[in-house]
């Protein structure tokens, strides 16, 4: 297994998010990194990669927006949704838990059927606050590039 680290930058409107595009002193943002066969994604929010706005409202729509970003980054890395092995889901309010899980299942049924019968390990966290007040959910994902 290679110990090489491959960096995948986070971009908004095609512009890499490093200084001067972010506040001085802020490190550059990674969409994710790959170490050997393991992909570590940064937390994926419903933030648009086109203009930085919140893509949508409502739990289901935000789950879909987050997972669309997860899927795009994994595909850029040469992997797929079906290779997710662990999720950490940050949810603004416990009242959204059942809606979030139902939306996640619906998304997996369409884009990663393997995860319906072989779900990834998962942790749910209700943080005091997410990156922006309009965000209801964020997904932190670990995947493998290829399954053995």
Q: According to the model, what pLDDT value does residue 103 have?
A: 98
CA atoms within 13 A on the CB side of 105: 8
Cα 47 to Cα 66: distance, rounded to the nearest angstrom: 8
Q: According to the model, what pLDDT value does residue 31 have?
A: 80
What pTM value is reported for the model?
0.85
User: Which structural domains are found in the chain, ordered by start?
Assistant: 5-144 (3.30.1330.40)
Q: What is the pLDDT along the chain (148 residues), one digit of tens a residue?
A: 457 877 666 666 665 655 455 556 666 677 888 999 999 999 999 988 777 778 788 999 999 999 999 999 999 999 999 999 999 999 999 999 999 999 999 999 999 999 999 999 999 999 999 988 999 999 999 999 998 7
Tokens of 113: 């059927």
Q: According to the model, what pLDDT value does residue 26 have?
A: 61
Q: Phi/psi at 58 (nearest 5 deg)?
A: 90, 145
Q: According to the model, what pLDDT value does residue 111 have?
A: 97
Q: According to the model, what pLDDT value does residue 19 have?
A: 47
């Amino acid at each position: 297994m290679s110990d090489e680290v491959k960096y995948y930058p986070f971009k908004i409107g095609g512009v890499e998010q490093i200084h001067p595009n972010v506040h001085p002193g802020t490190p550059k943002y990674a969409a994710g990194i790959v170490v050997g066969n393991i992909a570590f994604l940064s937390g994926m929010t419903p933030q648009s990669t086109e203009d930085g706005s919140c893509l949508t409202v409502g739990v289901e729509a935000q789950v879909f927006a987050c997972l669309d970003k997860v899927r795009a980054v994994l595909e850029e890395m040469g992997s797929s949704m079906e290779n997710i092995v662990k999720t950490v889901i940050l949810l603004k309010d416990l009242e959204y838990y059942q809606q979030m899980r139902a939306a996640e299942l619906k998304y997996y049924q369409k884009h990663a059927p393997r995860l319906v019968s072989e779900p990834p390990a998962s942790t749910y966290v209700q943080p005091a606050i997410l990156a922006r007040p309009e965000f209801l959910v964020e997904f932190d994902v670990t995947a493998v590039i290829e399954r053995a």
